């Protein structure tokens, strides 16, 4: 069964969604992050994908207080990313309540450091993030394009993490459907890859399609915040018996 992972992107302590990675095209939601997280938990979800967008842009963890509040108020397994660059950033994120650290830019720009972290903490403590435009990676909160090929990056780096989430930046926040074709190609090229889809999910049919493609999880953001996907629609993905009954 595919795992549903709600996204919580944070700017200035508030929940936001960007459109195609553009900080100038943001939607700010009034809901308190803690109450939002409690709502996800009440719907039966067990994971939360929290992104410190201020931290990703500034190169240092910025919204640690939000992480602490959500971790204290819920039992959600939180993966936290954005601005984790130094050893002390990593320890502070884990200390604040994150179960998993999402690492993207460091894995691209300083792979030896990431390899050291994986060896020290264990690969199960890391979620590898790969944001792509075309087939090349974008880093620093999508602000910097690179010439690093996605497939080469996954071949070298994916074994250092428990799973990988791949975001097609052109799909993110656009609600025009996920990059299912890309995910199928990656899963065919990298057998055994624990791949989490991210970006573009519009409805439950998209989630079913990603499940059929072989993705182990899906990060869902704007469709939830805009009310396009209702919490009750997650039930079939949380209860295998509901799927068989369809």
Q: Are strands 136-139 and 163-168 parallel, antiparallel or unpaired?
A: unpaired
In the residue annotation, 205 being an active-site residue is answered as: no
Tokens of 68: 């602490």
In the residue annotation, 32 being an active-site residue is answered as: no
Unique residue bearing structure tokens 């805009």: 226
Closest CA to 114 of 74, 79, 94, 84: 84
The sign of the torsion formed by the CA atoms of 199, 204, 209, 215 equals positive
For residue 165, list its beta bridge partners: 129, 196
Contact 63, 52 (CB under 8 A): yes
The rounded Cα 2 to chain-centroid distance in angstroms is 14
Q: How much of the chain is helix, strand and coil, in % rounded to 5?
A: 40, 30, 30
Q: Say how many C-beta atoms besides its own lie within 10 A of residue 102's C-beta.
A: 24
The rounded Cα 212 to chain-centroid distance in angstroms is 20
Q: Per the residue annotation, which of 9, 79, 89, 206 is the catalytic one?
A: 9
Q: Per the residue annotation, which of 89, 131, 168, 172 is the catalytic one?
A: 131
Burial class of residue 41, CB neighbours in 10 A (0-12, 13-18, 19+): middle
Q: Phi and psi dihedrals of 196, rounded to 5?
A: -110, 125
CA atoms within 13 A on the CB side of 124: 1
Q: Which residues are catalytic?
A: 9, 131
């Amino acid at each position: 069964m595919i795992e549903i992972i709600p996204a919580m992107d944070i700017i200035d302590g508030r929940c936001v969604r960007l459109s195609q990675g553009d900080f100038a095209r943001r939607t700010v939601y009034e809901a308190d992050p803690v109450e939002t997280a409690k709502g996800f938990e009440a719907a039966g979800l067990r994971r939360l994908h929290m992104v410190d967008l201020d931290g990703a842009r500034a190169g240092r963890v910025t919204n640690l207080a939000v992480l602490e509040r959500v971790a204290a108020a819920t039992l959600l397994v939180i993966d936290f990313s954005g601005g984790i660059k130094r050893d002390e950033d990593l320890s502070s994120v884990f200390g604040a309540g994150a179960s998993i650290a999402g690492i993207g830019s460091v894995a691209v720009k300083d792979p030896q450091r990431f390899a050291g972290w994986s060896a020290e903490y264990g690969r199960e403590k890391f979620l590898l993030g790969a944001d792509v435009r075309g087939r090349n990676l974008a880093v620093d909160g999508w602000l910097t394009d690179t010439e690093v090929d996605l497939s080469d990056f996954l071949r070298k780096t994916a074994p250092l993490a428990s799973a990988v989430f791949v975001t097609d930046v052109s799909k993110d926040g656009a609600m025009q459907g996920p990059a299912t074709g890309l995910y199928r190609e990656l899963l065919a090229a990298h057998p055994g890859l624990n791949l989490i889809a991210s970006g573009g999910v519009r409805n439950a049919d998209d989630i079913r399609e990603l499940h059929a493609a072989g993705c182990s999880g899906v990060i869902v953001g704007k469709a939830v915040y805009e009310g396009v996907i209702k919490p009750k629609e997650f039930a079939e993905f949380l209860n295998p018996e509901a799927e068989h009954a369809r």
